Amino acid sequence: MRLHHLRVVGFGPFADPVSIDFDALSDAGLFLLSGPTGAGKSSVLDAVCFALYGDVPGDRAAAKRLRSDHAADDVAPRVVLEATLSGRRFRIDRSPAWTRPKKRGTGTTTEQARVVISERRPADDGQHLWHPLSTRLDETGHLVTRLVGMTLPQFCQVAMLPQGRFQAFLRARSEERHALLQQVFQTGRFDRTERWLRDRRVALRRESEVHRTAVADLVSRVSEVGDDRAPDDWPTDPDVLGDWVVGLGDAAEATSREQAVLTEAAAAAEKDAAAGSAAGGRLAELQATHAAARRDRDALEAAATEHADRVRRADRAQRAAAAMSLHDLASASRAEVADLDQRLLAAVTSLGELAGAPAADHAAVAEHHRAATRALDDLARVRPLRRQAAELQSQLDLTTADREDAAAQLARLAVREEQVPLSLAELAPRLVAARDAAAEVPTLDRELEVLRTRVGAARTAEQLATELSTARLDLAAATQTRLLAREALVEIREQRLDGMAAEIARKLAVGACCPVCGSAEHPSPASPASGAPDEAAEREARREVDDLEVVVEAHAQQVRGLETRLATALAEAGDTTDRLLAAEADLRARVQDARAATASVESLTTRHDALLAERDDLARQREALASSASRLGTEAAVLDARLHALREQVRAVVPDGADLDALTAHHRQVEALARRCTDIAADLERARATAHSTQQAADRAAGDAGFASSAEAAAAWLSEADLAALVATIEQHERELARTGALLADDDLVRAAAAEAPDLDRLAEAHRRAREAAAAARHRDLVLRERTRRLRDLAGEIRTALAAWAPVRSDLDLVADLAALVEGKHPDNRHQMRLSAYVLAHRLGQVVDAANLRLSTMSDSRYSLVHTGRRGAGETRGGLSLLVRDDWTGESRDPATLSGGETFVVSLALALGLADVITQEACGADLDTLFVDEGFGSLDAETLEDVMDTLDTLRDGGRVVGVVSHVPELQTRIPTQLRVHRGRTGSRTSLSLA
C-alpha cells in the first residue's frame, strides 16, 4: 500500500479544503507530521483510515463526530484518497453521515454516508481515466479489506500506529496475534484444514453412529425373531455377529423340518373326521325332509274347505270387473251434479248481495250483467281524462315553481350587480402597489447580498483582530525566548573557549602529537573546570536556538498574514458590525415585505379579472332570467284553462270525491259473478243428462255378468291386488299338494326315515378337535418357516450393514487421530499447538528476527525479543507468546513490565519487523507506507538518536515512514515536514520539503 494524495474538507478540524501530496513527502522516504497539540495531526491519519475503511481508529470512532464543527452548515464532509493497493491505483471518495439544515422550512435532516471507489486504467488514447467500481458501502469495504489484506484494527497495529495504541501488538494475547498474523500472511488455508478435519471427524462420527444404529436395529430384530440375546461385546467387535446369526438360522431350519412332519399327520386326521361328520349330516337332513313333507301334507288336507271358498270368490270377482268401470262413471256423474247445484246457489246469492237486488231467475242475472257492462264502458272512457288532468296539474305546478325561482334569482342578481363595482374599486390600488413591489424585489436582493458580504467581512475583521492581538503576544514571547536562548548559546561558547585547552587535553593520547604545539610529551595537561560545558551542551543549545528561530519565524508569518487579512476585511466591510447588522435587518424586512407583496400579484390579478368577467356575466343572466319569467307566466295561464275543461268532463261521469278505481272494481265483480252464474247453470243441465245415461249403461253391463244390478256387482268386485293375492294363494295350495306327494313317494327319503338317527354333536365335536389340531400345526409350521426366512434375510442385511460400516470406522479412527494432532490435543503433539499456530509461530519467529535487528540498534544492544512456544497467562494455546530478554541481566520478562520509553522502542521495532516480513513475503500484504503517531517524547536524547538512525535506514527499501510528533528535536532532524496549523476557523496544512 502506498499513499499518493489526500484531500479533506469539513472533516475533523479541517473546515476548509486541505490537500496533502504524499508523493512529494514520499520522495524523502522519511517525513515529519508536526503541529501543536490539538491542531489535527492524528486527524490526518483518521482521514486516511476513514477513506480506506469508512471508520477511524480508537475511541474517536465511538464519538461519531467526524464532521468539522468549524465548517459552514451547507458544507458536506468529504475525504478523497488516491492510493496504490495490491499494485493497482484507486481513488476512494467518502463522506460520513451528517446533519444539515433543511432546504425548505426549519429543522434538520440527515444525509446518509456515501462512497465512490474508482480505479485508474489506461484509455485507448494512451491517457489514464478513472473507472468507477462501486458506490455501495459494503462492497467497497470488502474490496478495500481484500486489497489491503487487513481489517482496520489490524491495519492500525501494523501500518498506522495511533496514539497510545501501537504497543497493542506487543502486549496482545496469542489469540489476538493469531488473528492478525493469519490475516496479513494469508494463512487461512491452515485454519480451513483444521476446520475441514474437525468437520470431517464430526461427519464421520455421525455417519458411523448412523451405521451403528442401523446394525443395532438389525441385532434387535434378530434377537426378537431368534428369541436369543446378542453377544455383549458386538459394539467393539462387530465380527461376532455373523456366527451368532448363522447359528440362529440353522437351529430355526431344523425345528421347521420337524414341524412339517407333524403338520402332515394332523391334516390326514382332520380329513377323516370331516368325512364322518359330512355323512352323518346328510342322513339327518334326509330324515328331516321326510318328516317335514308329512307334516305339510296333513296341513293341506285340513284346509281343503277354505280352498274351495277362495276359488268361488275369485270367480265372482273376475265376472264383476266387466261392470265396474260404468258403475264408477255413474257415481262420479251424480257427485258432479250435486256439486254444480251447490256452486250455482252460492253464486246467485253472492250476485244478489253485491248488486243490491235479488237474482231470482235467469232473466234477473242477465239484467245485472248488462248494467255492469255499461258502467264499465263509461268508466273506461273517463280514466284517460283524469290521467290527462293529473299530468296538466303537474306541469302547472312545475311552471309555477320555475317562475317563482326565476323571480328570486333576479333579486339575487340585482344585489350582486351592486356589489361588484365596489369590489373592483377596492382592488385596483392594491394591485398597482403589488406590481410596484414586485419590480423592486431584484434590486433589494442585490443590496441585501452586498450587505451580507460586508457583515461577514466585519465579523471576520473582529475575529482577525483578536487573533492578531494574540499572535503579536505569542510573537513577542517567542522573540524573548529566542533572545534568552541566543544569550545562553553565546555564554556556552565563551565558556567552551575558556576551557578549550581542557577539551584538547581530554582528546590527547599517549605517544600522540599535540595538535597545538606538536610535542609528543604531555607533562601537565589542562583539566576542565567543574560544570564546564562540552560540545554536546553547545550542540543542544544551538539546536534549541534553531528550533526557536523556526518558532519565531512561524509566529511572524502568522502575524503578517493576520495583518493582511485584517486590512482586507476592514476595507471590504466599510463600517462597524453593529451598524451593518442594523442596516441588514432593516433591508431584510423590506425584502420580506416586497416578496409578500410580489406573491400576491398573481392572486390579485386573477381576482380583478374574475370580477370584470362576473360583471358582464351578471348582465347577461339578468336579461335571460327576465325573458324566462315572462314565458313561464304565459305557459301557466294556458295550462290552467286546459285543466279546468278536463275536470268538467270527468265530473259529468264521476261525482266529485268518488273513487274511480273502487267503482271500476265493483262493476267488474258484478259482471264477473253474473257471467259465472250463467256458466254454472249451463254446466248443471249437461251434468244431469250425463248422469242418467251412465247409470242405465252400468245396470245393463251388470245383468250381462250375472248380477241383478251394478250395485250387486260392485259388492262382489275385488281390487287387482286383492284378486291377485287370492289367485296366488289358490295356486300355492295346489303346488304344495303336488310337492308333498312327490317327496313322500321318494325312495331315498323312505329309506332314510326307516334308518336310525345319527349323533351329530359327537361327530361335529370330533371334527372340530381334528380341525383345530391341524390349524395349530399349520400355524406352527408357517411361523417356523417365516422365522427361518426372516433370520436368513436378516443375516444378509447384517452382513451388508457391517460391510458398509467397516470403512467408515476405519476412516473415523484415522481422521480423529489426525484432527486431534492438528488441534493440539493429541499426546504426540508435545507443545499442544494447533497447525495454524505452528505455521504462524514460524512467521512470528521471522518477525522477531527482523525486529531484533532494529531493536539491537535502538536499545544499544540491551533488549531483544524472544519467541516462545509456552502459553501465556490465561491462554489456552501456546506458540505465539513473546518475551523481552534483557542482556544486562540475562533474564527474560513479560513485555508488560517495560517502562513507557522501553515499550515504545520495543513496539516500534516489532512493528517495523512485522512490516519487513510482510513486505518480503510473496503472498503477504504490500506495506510501502508506515505511520508512527507520537511516543517519541518518552525517549531520552541518546535513545531518540538511535531510533531516528533506525528510521533513516528504512529509506533504502523504498518504504515511506511518517513520524507524527511535536518534539522539537525531530523538527530539526527531519527536514521533510507536513505541518498542521490550528486556528479559530479550523486547521490548515503546509508542506516543507528538504
pLDDT 10s digits, 39-91:
888 888 889 999 999 988 766 665 567 888 888 888 889 999 999 988 889 99
| pLDDT surpassing 60 at residue 588 | yes
Domain definitions of the chain by residue range: 2-149+925-992
pTM of the model: 0.41
Assign domain 2-149+925-992 to its CATH superfamily: P-loop containing nucleotide triphosphate hydrolases (3.40.50.300)
Taking only the tens place, the pLDDT of each residue in 8-37 is: 999 989 989 999 998 888 888 888 888 887
SS3 of 619, please? helix
Distance CA 334, CA 510 (A): 183
Least confident of 118-132, 178-192, 727-741: 178-192
Residue 793 neighbours by CB distance under 10 Å: 13
Taking only the tens place, the pLDDT of each residue in 751-794 is: 777 777 777 788 788 878 888 888 888 888 888 788 788 878 87
* Predicted confidence band of residue 221 (pLDDT cuts 50, 70, 90): confident
What percentage of the chain reaches a pLDDT higher than 90? 4
Residue 587, exposed/middle/buried by CB under 10 A (0-12, 13-18, 19+)? middle
890-915 average pLDDT score? 78
| pLDDT surpassing 80 at residue 230 | no
Q: CB of 989 within 8 A of CB of 981? A: yes
| pLDDT surpassing 50 at residue 723 | yes
Least confident of 71-75, 122-126, 806-810: 122-126
DSSP 986: -
Q: CB of 793 within 8 A of CB of 245? A: no
Amino acid at site 377: D
Least confident of 110-114, 123-127, 249-253, 917-921: 917-921
Taking only the tens place, the pLDDT of each residue in 656-699 is: 656 666 667 777 777 777 777 777 777 777 877 887 787 777 77
* Predicted confidence band of residue 922 (pLDDT cuts 50, 70, 90): very low
| pLDDT surpassing 50 at residue 373 | yes
Beta-bridged to residue 11, according to DSSP, are: 14, 67
What percentage of the chain reaches a pLDDT higher than 70? 84
Mean pLDDT of the chain, nearest integer = 78
Beta-bridged to residue 14, according to DSSP, are: 11
Q: What are phi and psi of 318, to 5 degrees?
A: -70, -35
DSSP 100: E
CA-atom Rg of the chain in angstroms: 66
Residue positions counted in the chain: 994
